């Protein structure tokens, strides 16, 4: 997420660009056509700042780092999924997520249980030491 926060005036200026679908306080959503064109121009040797300037963006408002990171991200999508990667929603696809507890093998369950036992034993040892230190402190006061 960007450190730049757009005010109302900046958002309206950015939204007027035909290469933008929407703008929030921190993020700009670009059209798939612009993303594809930007990647292709970048692969031909144009720099991110030049691409964004020629597309009508004010880099004083959006920042050069946003342009560089966007092009870098889009190049990865282009390399992995081709042109179609810009025209379909990809968020969440191929994500493995958190492993389910029900589907764990017996070895994995045992491994998790042993790790939990070790953690609880360490916690118990720490509490015992703390209790001992409190008793010693009380003896010294009296």
For the entire predicted model, the pTM comes to 0.62
- Paired residues of 20 in beta bridges: 30
Residue 14 pLDDT: 93
Q: Determine if residue 97 is left, alpha or beta; phi over 0 gives left, psi from -120 to 50 gives alpha, anything else beta.
A: left
Residue ranges of domains in the chain: 8-86, 103-142
21: helix, strand or coil? strand
The CA-atom distances, in angstroms, between 44 and each of 37, 47, 108, 118 are 11, 9, 49, 56
pLDDT tens over the chain, length 142 residues: 567 888 999 999 999 999 999 999 889 999 999 999 999 999 999 999 999 999 999 999 998 899 999 999 999 999 988 888 888 877 776 666 676 667 778 888 899 999 999 999 999 999 999 999 999 998 888 7
């Amino acid at each position: 997420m960007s450190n730049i926060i757009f005010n109302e005036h900046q958002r309206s200026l950015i939204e007027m660009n035909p290469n933008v679908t929407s703008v929030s306080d921190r993020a700009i959503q670009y059209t798939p056509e612009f993303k594809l064109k930007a990647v292709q121009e970048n692969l031909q040797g144009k720099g991110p700042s030049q691409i964004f300037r020629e597309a009508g963006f004010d880099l004083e408002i959006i920042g050069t780092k946003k342009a560089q990171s966007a092009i870098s991200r889009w190049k990865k999508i282009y390399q992995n999924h081709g042109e179609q990667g810009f025209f379909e929603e990809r968020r969440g696809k191929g994500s493995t997520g958190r492993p389910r507890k029900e589907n764990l093998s017996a070895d994995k369950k045992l491994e998790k249980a042993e790790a939990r036992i070790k953690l609880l034993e360490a916690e118990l040892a720490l509490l015992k030491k703390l209790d001992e230190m409190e008793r010693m402190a009380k003896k010294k006061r009296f």
